[in-house]
């Protein structure tokens, strides 16, 4: 299986958006035909009756040799199913062992806090132990902090360096840009991360001015396009087709073949 951190160009990741097994498999088939490199499997989108080992294996095996990035934001998204971080971690490990490659660990795992980056020593130590366990089983780890508001570029760097210190492979930070000045500084933050952080970074923003950042950012820091299958793509998140066009325009020519 391929890696999320060894690509020599931005990796196109198709984020899956169905609540049932067959729907996900259909999106996977279409995404493969459209030339995606990888998949993002958001476990919390699955209806509860489909959450079992058999279905996880079906979903992941349908991806072939393309690696899977797994998340579970069950404690967010106003989901009525209440689960502790320990329960969520157990589910993530279960899915990971069915064939995923990259696991998303929130920066406030085991100690929920605003901005999603705990500094509580016991929680940080538990995160490090989990990260080591994933690495020992051949996996890769992304740590995410959804700040969801504009912060100065120096603060973005501070978060990424703290995530890096915990042993992860990719630092993910999501902020916001609601005006041109904030957008400009977010682009400056990308270059600061590229200069100062030794691991890969995935720096995204939401807000009124987020679209340019989401389509140009992955080229600037050679990271990851979070895309959607062409027929369901909407909003700021680009389609697989658009991401491929941007990568080509940036001078990369080693894209996957589109299957007719």
Tokens matching residue 51:
């959450």
- List the CATH number of the domain containing 209: 3.20.20.70
Residue 256 falls inside a structural domain: no
Residue 159's nearest CA partner among 110, 126, 112, 119 is 119
Q: DSSP letter at 172? A: E
Tokens matching residue 86:
């320990």
pLDDT at 171 (0 to 100) = 98
Tokens matching residue 116:
């999603």
Quick check: helix, strand or coil at residue 128? helix
Residue 126 falls inside a structural domain: yes
The sign of the torsion formed by the CA atoms of 154, 108, 56, 95 equals positive
The count of domains in the chain is 1
Q: Which H or E run contains 203?
A: strand 200-206
Distances (CA, A) of 43 to 24, 48, 106: 11, 10, 14
Residue 94 falls inside a structural domain: yes
Residue 39's nearest CA partner among 30, 51, 49 is 30
pLDDT at 82 (0 to 100) = 60
Q: CA angle, corner 53, sides to 51 and 57, nearest 5?
A: 105
Range of the domain at 162: 11-249
Which residues of the chain have a pLDDT value below 70? 1, 75-82, 260
Residue 88 falls inside a structural domain: yes
Return the number of other C-beta atoms located less than 10 Å from residue 10's C-beta: 21
Residue 260 falls inside a structural domain: no
Sheet of strand 102-106: strand arrangement? 200-206, 170-176, 140-146, 102-106, 68-71, 38-42, 11-15, 224-227
Residue 3 falls inside a structural domain: no
pLDDT at 81 (0 to 100) = 57
Residue 139's nearest CA partner among 68, 39, 63, 227 is 68
pLDDT at 93 (0 to 100) = 97
* pTM > 0.85: yes or no: yes
pLDDT digits (tens, 9 = 90+) for 67-87: 999 999 876 555 555 678 999
pLDDT digits (tens, 9 = 90+) for 8-33: 899 999 999 899 999 999 999 999 99
pLDDT at 251 (0 to 100) = 94
pLDDT at 18 (0 to 100) = 93
Residue 4 falls inside a structural domain: no
pLDDT at 253 (0 to 100) = 86
Residue 172's nearest CA partner among 152, 154, 195, 148 is 148
Packed helices 210-220 and 240-249: angle between N→C axes, nearest 10 degrees:
50
pLDDT at 23 (0 to 100) = 97
Tokens matching residue 127:
């995160």
Residue 6 falls inside a structural domain: no
């Amino acid at each position: 299986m391929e890696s999320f951190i060894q690509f020599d160009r931005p990796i196109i990741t198709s984020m899956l958006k169905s609540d049932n097994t067959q729907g996900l498999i259909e999106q996977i088939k279409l995404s493969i035909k459209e030339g995606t490199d990888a998949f993002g499997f958001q476990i919390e989108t699955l209806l509860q009756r489909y959450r079992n080992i058999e279905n996880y294996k079906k979903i992941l095996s349908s991806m072939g040799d393309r690696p899977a990035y797994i998340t579970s934001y069950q404690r967010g998204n106003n989901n009525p199913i209440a689960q502790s971080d320990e329960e969520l971690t157990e589910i993530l490990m279960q899915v990971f062992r069915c064939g995923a490659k990259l696991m998303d660990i929130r920066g406030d795992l085991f100690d929920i806090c605003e901005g999603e980056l705990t500094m509580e020593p016991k929680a940080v130590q538990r995160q490090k132990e989990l990260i080591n366990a994933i690495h020992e089983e051949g996996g890769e780890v992304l740590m995410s902090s959804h700040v969801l508001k504009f912060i100065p570029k120096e603060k973005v760097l501070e978060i990424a360096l703290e995530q890096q210190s915990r042993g992860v492979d990719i630092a993910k930070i999501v902020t916001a840009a609601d005006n041109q000045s904030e957008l400009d500084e977010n682009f400056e933050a990308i270059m600061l991360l590229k200069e100062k952080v030794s691991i890969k970074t995935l720096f995204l923003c939401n807000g009124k001015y987020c679209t340019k950042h989401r389509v140009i950012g992955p080229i600037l820091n050679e990271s990851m396009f979070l895309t959607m299958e062409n027929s369901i793509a909407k909003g700021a998140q680009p389609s697989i087709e658009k991401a491929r066009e941007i990568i080509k325009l940036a001078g990369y020519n080693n894209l996957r073949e589109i299957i007719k």
